[in-house]
Structure 1
Amino acid sequence: MFGVVVVAVVFLGAMMFWKTHNTSSVNMAKVSAMKPLVAVETVRRQDMLSRIVLSGQTVAAAQVEIAPKYKGYITQVAVELGQPVTAGQVLVVQDTKDVEFAIAQTMAAIRQARAETIETKASFSADYQKAAADYERNLAYYQRYEALHTSGAVSRETLDTARQQMINAKSALAALQEQAMEGSVPAMVESKQAALAKAEYNLEALKKQREDRILRAPRAGIIGYRQVEEGAFVPAGQKLLTIVDNGSSFIDFQVSEQNAAQIRTGMQVKVTIDSLGQEYPGTIIYVSPANDAKTQAFTVRLVLMPGEPAIRSGMFAHADITGLLRKQTIFVVKTAILEKNGKNYVFVINDNNQAEQRLVATGQRNDDSVEILAGINEGERVAVSNIARLKQDTVVEVEARGTAL
């Protein structure tokens, strides 16, 4: 009987202990469940970076359209679509028969003009010599008649006639002398020389026209467009061929104002060509000084390393650039920001693990973080998760996550 009583007492004691312990555990669990579990980060001053994603298309080093300067029939097409060409290589030849005929006529006109110039010079020289001889002869006659008139051998009328002839001869000589002055050309000779020069200029123009009817490659490349056949009549300015030079490849990107401010010429970039599935090194060589009036975007040009024949114009490409948004500043991850009524707040967790709601002023943003200009200090802990459950003075359960990135 005594043993039964002892067993009963032990059993009742065990039951009371289990009940008390279980109640305490439940109460502790309830208390713990009432504390929100949050991750925190300790803010530090550091460089705030941004990831700029660039998307664009490859652009050839040059794409030159070949078009005739003059209308006419095509007598030869010397290249095929896709054919490599070198600078100066003949591409297309137009009919030059009319030009050749005009050149022959002009050359005949030049020979005639040269002959006439020589003839005119000789004629002028003969006229000059004759005028000089006439003047000398008439002067001698006048001087002799003047002596005879003094002695009464000739009449005054005869003397006046001799004098007038001498004056006329002198005037004719003076006119020729004026044309033959040093540094000047006689008018009749100059006229012939001008006709000769005009014919020579015409000849050069016709030779240039003949040369222009032979269309040559202005640079090396590949024929990327061909729309011309022998025997066709083509008007002036019609595109016949296109030469594409992929010796160097460029990629043009359109970026926003904020991103353009972070990109500098000389930046080294890894570029992926989507269709090729390969990465190529490149260098930023140009950032437009002004945005496009229609798109409000800035153009960034990147040059790829030459010697990649697989890269063709028009291929899609993308690249990532890490830019510096702000040097040595305070920032938090976006999940730490609570927006209410147009204002931004964060929760600072104090040493007692209590949440303090702070109004903050924000600055720059990147894909992950927001700059804090005012409202928190370096070294403070900020809640970065579960902030929807937080209020002023809420006691939290802290899950440490290191420092802000």
Structure 2
Amino acid sequence: MAQRLASNKKKVAIIAITAFSLLFSAYQGLHSKNVAKGQHSEDTKPLVDVLTIQRKDMTKTIDLTGQTVPESQVDIAAKYTGKITQINVELGQYVTPGQVLLSQDSSDIDLSIEQNNASFRQANADAIESNATFEANYQKAQSDYQHSVTTYQRYKLLYSQGAISKEVLDNAEQQMISSKSVMESWSKQLMAGSAASVESKRASRDKAQSVIDALKNQKDDLTLRAPRSGMIGFRQAEVGNIVSAGQKVLSIVDNSNIYIDCSVSEQDIGQVVLGLPTTIGIESLGKSFTGKIIYISPSIDSKTQAFTIRMILDKPEDSIRSGMFARTTINTILRSQTLFVPKEAVLSLNGKDRIFVVNSSNQVEERIVQLGLRNDKSIEIISGIQDGETIAVSNLARLKTGSAITPNILAE
């Protein structure tokens, strides 16, 4: 029994020693490979994207969304409540200025016009009669005065001959003075225009005429006409419908010019100028169009906190309708003829910005630079590099002054 135990222990020891030897050999082999691999890695030059920079205009792309807007869209509403008696247009029909679109019932107004015409005729007759009476009275006053003057002159001669008494002469003189006063009173009324009684009659006549004119204007307003040319884009009216005053019944859309309205943020509005070319995509049509900016709002919208700009298409198509969703791209110049690099080319560390310049021997020089403007993809370099130098764009974390690289030249 003791011999068997001793034999087993010996076997276990042999197995353990053998296993340890195998593990040690494996470790040695793996370590040797790692060392060789590390030496190979240190000897390999990193592959780095490089780019030669040149002075160019630094641009910024502004992407906006908006919608198409017609040359004009005019909503037409009824001015008065009433029944529709005639509709002369259909949806999609082209109309011209002044064309009759719709008519409302005017029978009540026609009756009022007829009644007021009768009142006008009576008032006009009264005014004519009053004026005739005034003229007759004025003529009579003139005649009476002339007669009294003649009588006084004759009596004055008779008195000088002793044919009449002083009393008779005085009476003739008083009659002349009285007639003159009456004539002057009528003359003053004539010079002022006419007598108060005549003016009153004329005022009644003119009032009746103004009522008739107002009724005729109201009747004319019951016939809705096209204020401009365009296409009927909305119709909500049928013969027999009762429409209310102010109710929209038709609209005219003029698509002779198509505009695109977009909102621009306060941050970007400084780069937007009139005449700037734009690219407009109409998603529902799957097409892109060119255009230009023709309007920039002078003040910011207090609700949207943005500025509205309007663009016009260079070559609009009939397939474009108002209200279509549009995507607009505007390329603006941030700085003319400046140096700028891709954002990936700048390494910021410990509060300093640096880039890596690659010389003709493909060796790297680290430089501290001063940054300027930025756009979506690039950063302006104010100082630290020169026009025509080549810079590293990738693998920056593995670079330092003196590093040798394998360059992968990128197109400008």
TM-score, normalising length: structure 2:
0.80
Does the 8 Å contact 1:49/1:326 carry over to 2? yes
Identify which of 38, 42, 46 aligns with 1:31.
42
Q: Deviations over 1:299-327 (max 9, x none)?
A: 22122356633211111122333322211
- What secondary structure is seen at the aligned counterpart in 2 of 1:177? helix
2:394 equivalent to 1:388: no
Partner of 2:349: 340
Residues 265-344 of structure 1: pairs in structure 2 closer than 5 A: 265-305=274-314, 308-341=317-350, 343-344=352-353
Q: CA deviation at 1:57?
A: 1.0
Specify the alignment match of 1:399 in structure 2: 407
The code of the aligned residue for 2:49 comes to A
Name the counterpart of 2:64: 54
Residue in structure 2 matched with residue 77 of structure 1 by the alignment = 87
CA distance in 2, matches of 1:306, 1:127: 79
What is the aligned partner in structure 2 of residue 92 from structure 1?
Answer: 102
Separation (CA, whole Å) in 1 of partners of 2:124 and 2:176: 36
Q: Distance in 1 between matches of 2:120 and 2:158?
A: 56
For 2:359 and 2:244, locate their aligned partners in 1 and report how far apart those are by CA, in whole Å: 83
Q: Following the alignment from structure 1 to structure 2, what is the Cα–Cα distance between the partners of residues 298 and 179? A: 67
Q: Which residue of 2 aligns with 1:211?
A: 220
Cα distance, 1:239 vs structure 2: 1.5
Runs of 5+ unmatched residues, structure 1:
1-21
Which residue among 110, 117, 120 is the counterpart of 1:110? 120
Sequence identity percentage:
49
**Residues 88 and 101, structure 2, Cα contact 8 Å, conserved in 1:** yes
Whether contact under 8 Å (2:263, 2:308) holds in the other structure is yes
- Give the Cα separation in 2 of the matches to 1:27 and 1:217: 86
- Residues 249 and 305, structure 1, Cα contact 8 Å, conserved in 2: no
- Residue matched to 2:239: 230
Distance 1:342 1:108 in 2: 96
Q: More displaced, 298-307 or 230-239?
A: 298-307
Bigger shift: residues 281-290 or 141-150: 141-150
Q: Give, in whole Å, the separation in 1 of the partners of 2:117 and 2:351.
A: 87
CA deviation after TM superposition for structure 1 residue 384, in Å: 0.8
Return 194-203 or 120-129, whichever deviates more.
194-203
**1:100-141 Cα distance to aligned partner (Å, 9 max, x none):** 122223333333343333323322222122112211222333
| Structure-1 residue corresponding to 2:7 | none
Alpha-carbon separation, structure 2, partners of 1:45 and 1:70: 68
TM-score normalised over the length of structure 1: 0.81
- Aligned letter for 2:69? V
Deviation at 1:62, TM superposition (A): 1.6
CA contact (8 A) 1:74 1:233 kept: yes
Question: 1:250 aligned to 2:256?
Answer: no
**Cα RMSD between the aligned structures?**
3.1
Q: 1:139 to 1:297 in 2, by over 3 A?
A: same
